[in-house]
Amino acid sequence: MSRRIELHDLSCYYGNRKVVDRITMTIEPKSVTAIIGPSGCGKSTLLRAINRLHETLPGARVEGRVLLDGDNIYDRSIDVVDVRRIVGMVFQRPNPFPTMSIHDNVAAGLKLAGVRRRDLDDIVEKALIAVHLWNEVKDRLRRPASALSGGQQQRLCIARAIAVQPEVLLMDEPCSALDPISTLAIEDLIAELKNDFTVVIVTHNMQQAARVSDMTAFVTVDGPGHPGRLVEYADTKTLFSVPADKRTEDYITGRVG
Amino acid sequence: MKSPMRVGTRETHDRATPRAQTRRRAIGDVLFERSVWLAACAVLALLIAVAAFLVWRSIPAIRQDSANFLTTRTWLPDDTPPVFGVAAIAFGTALSATVALVLAVPVAIGSAIFVTQYVPPRVGVWLGYCLDLLAAVPSVVYGLWGMLWLVPAMTPIQHGLATTLGFLPFFADPQGLTRQASRSIFVVGIVLAAMIIPIIAAVTREVIRQVDPGLREAAWALGATRWEMVRIAILPASKLGIAGAVLLGLGRALGETIAVALVLGTSFAVDFHLLVFGKNTIAANIATQFAEAGSLGRSALIASGLVLFAMTMLTTLLARAIIYRSGSRERSAFA
Amino acid sequence: MTTATPLWVHRRRYRRRRWTARLAALAVGSAFLLAVVPLILVLTYTIARGLPHFSWVFFTHSLAGVPPSQAGGGIAAATIGSLEQVGLASLIGLPLGLAVAVYLAEYGTGRLATVTRFLVDVMTGIPSIVAGLFAYTFIVISLHQGFSGLAAAIALSLLMVPIIVRSAEDILAGIPRTLREAGYALGLRRWRVVVSIVLPAARSGLITGAMLAVARIAGETAPLLLTAFDNSYINANPFRGQQSALPLFIYNQAQQAYQPAIDRAWAAAATLVLAITGIYIIARLLTLRKSGAHRV
């Protein structure tokens, strides 16, 4: 299960400050789409608008539409809780619930959704297997999640996100707080995840974007204080080998940013 | 704006005698550091002095007490022989503080959650100030209001509770006393609750604010409703700090004097009848007896104050230790 | 992964979750209302009962020669006493508290600092009546000074110091490091940096903290019972002899069985409440102005 995401003229604001300016793009199901760009270009904000997490910050609001298989998630009739269950998210810093055990962390979303207790263990196991964490933690499922290493915690967070069977998985620089080996493990995992989910990943690391994604979007700003705009959105190979826009070329060859 | 001036002074000084200058400044530094260090020591000495003076001045009373100071219920220090003990008033102190906590804790934690999680931050800060203002109202005003408005207002309610729920030991009214205006532990508990809600709420607010925002986001991203977010992300991460906040409120309720002295009818009963007139607390007993007491009487009151000091210090010590361990030293002007 | 649980389970359960969420919102919202209800009741009732008894005589006369059963007399002695006691307490408490805060914020890294910080926090838990007992045992009986405004001021300053230390340390710690470094870069000694750069930069926050502390101790009654002891006559000398104070006036009048005395208690309570909330609001507006300036 996975869905097509369409952004139509999507703008994001913090109070009066516009940080993302009228972005329109279509993200295909069962693919990995990377959003790259210099820091402060609004790429994380853009990502957070796709599961309506942006609006939880004070003064933040969104204009435009985000369609999930044709349904506008910002429509009045759509419940935000529904959106977030369908669109899961993994954050920059691993954020397992520190007081919960490994098992309970993975089961957290399931319990909210009312999955029956006897089904829990099974789903938790599958999710942990899917993120290649099962063998490492199967003997200490009841131990606190805070005892895991950073890379393990991040994989735990991915397991927590996919356990509720979302259709889209958003990843906000999921490797930026991790060591190279953990990063590699997560990148391999992303390649597998696209078999089941539509994955959108924000990264400031161009090599990573080139390695993991099918499509790449380049977002940048005209200058400090300006909102982020979509410059180029293309097949990853094309974007990195023959960029159509001068700014993209400057960025990927390291001349700016 | 000031920096050019400073540069100027420095240059003139340097031009005078650089070495003498350095030494004088070094002395200035040492003196300054010494004096603020002394101030810190003075504050510690002050705390020790409080304990020392109370112990010293209560020894004569405890020596002359013809009964056991800790287990006796009566308070007749100026009789011959003097008979007094803290059993009844210590019990009343603990009972009134407990009632206050039971009433205050849900309200305080609920309002702290409300102002931090349910309203926009800017509004929340101002609503928080409103709660703090509650703590700024002097206890004598609470006492006045409790005595002249709350006691009459609560009389029918207390009587109703006693007649309908009188089978519960806490609400029992064996002698039918609640028919008249009842200056009871229950009413005192309400007044004390109103006074400690802002303290518990202020600390809880601060503790909640320290919760890693990443946890909130994690809960949101799992599709939690606002309440579920509070339940799985906020409360587990802040429960230690909230426990400290509650203990801090307990300490304040134990030591409250004037509101209790004005509202509570005095007796030295030891029972759990919350709705009935009377009982007494250590602090209120000191306030009401001090003016009329003889020298042994005052000494006895000091001894009871020592017991109160010990009770509140232990509570506060524990509260602060818990709050420290929870990693958030809250900062409220009023807590 | 395969779908282990059919979606309709989520759907049906979701209705319940939404209701729980609504109930919870209602509960915490009413908790807040419940918390401010006493505030509104106490403030409005006190002012409604007190204002009608405000008069020229009430503010300019003492209670001398006025029996509890008769109307007349006022809070002149109490106001003078309160101002002197709170003033003296501030004179002791503010510098001491500020010095300790400077120690903690600027020099406090060692063991003593940790202990001091912790014990200052613990000191906030000293019941006001115990502070009164301390001043009584120390000043009144051990130093044979008798009851006086000074003894009251000592008790009040004991309550004031921890409040000042906590708020001031917090504000000093919030002064950006770069400001201090700018001072050092100019070749200033550490104490000069503190005195001429850090403290001025923290001024408005420190003033707010001081005002809140004054508001807090101005209404304390319990310690005054054991130290100032009340006086119907005006005693303008805080160093010798019993003194009145507003909270004491309220307490003693409230315990009389006569309506004129009760009326006086309400009027004095209204005066005190207006003064304290006034100080509180001004203090808060000061911080508002400051943070507004920051934002611009």
ipTM of the complex: 0.89
Of A112, A123, A130, the CB nearest to C4: A123
Question: A255 by DSSP, 3-state: which?
Answer: coil
C17 lies within 8 A of chain A by CB: yes
Tell me the residue length of chain A. Answer: 257
Query: Would the CB atoms of C17 and A165 count as touching at under 8 Å?
Result: no
With CA atoms as reference, report the closest residue to B256 among B185, B172, B177, B171. B185
Could you say which DSSP state residue A251 is in? H
Stretch B50-74: mean pLDDT = 91
The pair of structure tokens assigned to B255 is 């030591």
Residues of A in contact with B122 (CB under 8 A): 58
pLDDT of residue B324: 82
pLDDT of residue B216: 92
Query: Would the CB atoms of A84 and B222 count as touching at under 8 Å?
Result: yes
Query: Would the CB atoms of C272 and B141 count as touching at under 8 Å?
Result: yes
Closest residue, chain C, to A112 (C-alpha): C17
Query: Would the CB atoms of A99 and B237 count as touching at under 8 Å?
Result: yes
- Overall number of domains in chain A: 1
Average pLDDT of adjacent 10-residue blocks, chain C of 296 residues:
42 79 95 91 94 94 90 93 96 95 87 88 92 94 91 96 92 88 86 89 89 92 94 91 95 93 96 94 77 34
Query: Would the CB atoms of B232 and A56 count as touching at under 8 Å?
Result: no
CATH 3.90.1310.10 for domain B75-325: no
Q: Return the amino acid letter for A206.
A: M
Interface of B with A in 39-98 (CB under 8 A): none
B228 lies within 8 A of chain A by CB: yes
Interface of A with C in 36-55 (CB under 8 A): none
| Cα distance from N-terminal residue to C-terminal residue, chain A | 37
Residue-averaged pLDDT of chain B: 87
Question: B71 by DSSP, 3-state: which?
Answer: coil
Query: Would the CB atoms of C4 and A196 count as touching at under 8 Å?
Result: no
Query: Would the CB atoms of A112 and B228 count as touching at under 8 Å?
Result: yes
Residue A257 lies in a domain: no
Residues of B in contact with A53 (CB under 8 A): 217, 220-221
d(CA C109, CA C95): 21
Chains that touch C (3 or more CB pairs under 8 A): A, B
Residue B332 scores a pLDDT above 50: no
Closest residue, chain B, to A82 (C-alpha): B223
Closest residue, chain C, to A129 (C-alpha): C1
Of C42, C130, C136, the CB nearest to B145: C42
Query: Would the CB atoms of A81 and C3 count as touching at under 8 Å?
Result: no
Closest residue, chain A, to B212 (C-alpha): A95
| Cα distance from N-terminal residue to C-terminal residue, chain B | 38
H/E element, A16: none
The pair of structure tokens assigned to C291 is 């943070």
Residues of C in contact with A116 (CB under 8 A): 5, 9
Can the peptide bond before residue C162 be classed as cis, meaning omega within 30 degrees of 0? no
pLDDT of residue B172: 86
The pair of structure tokens assigned to A72 is 């506008």
* pLDDT > 70: percent of chain A: 98
CA-to-CA separations, B335 to B135, B194, C48, C213, C273, in angstroms, rounded: 9, 14, 29, 11, 19
With CA atoms as reference, report the closest residue to C157 among C135, C141, C137, C174. C135
Chains that touch B (3 or more CB pairs under 8 A): A, C
Residues of A in contact with C18 (CB under 8 A): 79, 81
d(CA B50, CA B202): 27
C13 lies within 8 A of chain A by CB: yes
Query: Would the CB atoms of A97 and B228 count as touching at under 8 Å?
Result: no
Residue B206 scores a pLDDT above 80: yes
Quote the pTM value.
0.88
Question: C147 by DSSP, 3-state: which?
Answer: coil
pLDDT of residue C294: 34
Interface of B with A in 239-298 (CB under 8 A): 239
Of C117, C125, C221, the CB nearest to B315: C125
* Number of CB pairs, chain A paired with chain C, less than 8 A apart: 39
Residue A61 scores a pLDDT above 60: yes
With CA atoms as reference, report the closest residue to C86 among C22, C143, C18, C159. C159
What CATH architecture applies to the domain C77-254?
Orthogonal Bundle (1.10)
Stretch B204-231: mean pLDDT = 91
Residue B70 scores a pLDDT above 60: yes
Query: Would the CB atoms of B222 and A82 count as touching at under 8 Å?
Result: no
Of A59, A100, A161, the CB nearest to B221: A161
A85 lies within 8 A of chain C by CB: yes
Tell me phi and psi for residue A218, to 5 degrees. -105, 120
Question: C3 by DSSP, 3-state: which?
Answer: coil
The pair of structure tokens assigned to B149 is 């408005």
Domain residues for A14?
Answer: 5-252
What DSSP letter does each residue of B203-272 carry, written as one string? HHHHHHHTS-HHHHHHHHHTT--HHHHIIIIIHHHHHHHHHHHHHHHHHHHHH--HHHHHHSPP----S-
Of B120, B222, B237, the CB nearest to A109: B222
H/E element, C203: helix C203-218
Tell me the residue length of chain B. Answer: 335
pLDDT of residue B192: 96
pLDDT of residue A82: 83
Q: Which burial class, exposed, middle or buried, applies to B229 when counting CB atoms under 10 A from its CB (0-12, 13-18, 19+)?
A: buried
* CA geometry: angle A131, A134, A140, nearest 5 deg: 135
Residue B9 scores a pLDDT above 80: no
pLDDT tier, B21 (very low <50, low <70, confident <90, very high otherwise): low
Query: Would the CB atoms of B218 and A95 count as touching at under 8 Å?
Result: yes
Query: Would the CB atoms of A164 and B232 count as touching at under 8 Å?
Result: no
Every domain of chain C and the residues it spans: 77-254
Query: Would the CB atoms of A56 and B218 count as touching at under 8 Å?
Result: no
Which ranges of chain A would DSSP assign to H, the alpha helix?
43-50, 80-86, 102-113, 117-130, 134-137, 150-163, 180-193, 206-212, 236-241, 246-252
Stretch A154-180: mean pLDDT = 90
pLDDT of residue B10: 40
With CA atoms as reference, report the closest residue to C126 among B92, B93, B317. B317
CATH number of domain containing A138:
3.40.50.300
Closest residue, chain A, to B233 (C-alpha): A97
Chains that touch A (3 or more CB pairs under 8 A): B, C
A192 lies within 8 A of chain C by CB: no
Residue B263 scores a pLDDT above 60: yes
CA-to-CA separations, A240 to A30, A32, B259, in angstroms, rounded: 21, 15, 75
Shortest distance between the Cα of C109 and any Cα of chain A, in A, equals: 29
What DSSP letter does each residue of B208-221 carry, written as one string? HHTS-HHHHHHHHH
A129 lies within 8 A of chain C by CB: no
Number of C-alpha atoms within 13 angstroms, CB side, residue C19? Answer: 5
Q: How many CB atoms lie within 10 A of CB C240?
A: 13
Closest residue, chain B, to A161 (C-alpha): B222
CA-to-CA separations, A234 to A67, A173, A208, B184, B304, in angstroms, rounded: 20, 20, 16, 77, 81
Query: Would the CB atoms of A126 and C13 count as touching at under 8 Å?
Result: no
Query: Would the CB atoms of C20 and B225 count as touching at under 8 Å?
Result: yes
A80 Cβ neighbours under 8 A, 6+ residues apart: A52, A55
Shortest distance between the Cα of B248 and any Cα of chain A, in A, equals: 24
Tell me phi and psi for residue C245, to 5 degrees. -160, 155
List, for residues B300-324, the tens digit of each pLDDT value. Answer: 999 999 999 999 999 999 998 888 8
Hey, which bits of C21-92 come out as E strands? none
Residue found under tokens 């007993």: B285
Residues of B in contact with C25 (CB under 8 A): 118, 226-227
Q: Return the amino acid letter for B223.
A: G
- B237 and B211 in contact (C-beta within 8 Å)? yes
- A76 and A132 in contact (C-beta within 8 Å)? no
pLDDT tier, A253 (very low <50, low <70, confident <90, very high otherwise): confident
Stretch B252-281: mean pLDDT = 92
Handedness of CA C34, C38, C40, C45 (dihedral sign): positive
C8 lies within 8 A of chain A by CB: no
d(CA C139, CA C136): 6
Closest residue, chain A, to C2 (C-alpha): A165
pLDDT of residue C295: 29
Shortest distance between the Cα of A247 and any Cα of chain B, in A, equals: 33
List, for residues A1-17, the tens digit of each pLDDT value. Answer: 567 899 999 999 998 88
Query: Would the CB atoms of A97 and B233 count as touching at under 8 Å?
Result: yes
What are the beta bridge partners of residue A17? A14
pLDDT tier, B174 (very low <50, low <70, confident <90, very high otherwise): confident
Of B31, B127, B135, the CB nearest to C32: B127
Task: Name the CA dihedral angle for B88, B91, B96, B99, rounded to a multiple of 10 degrees.
Answer: -140
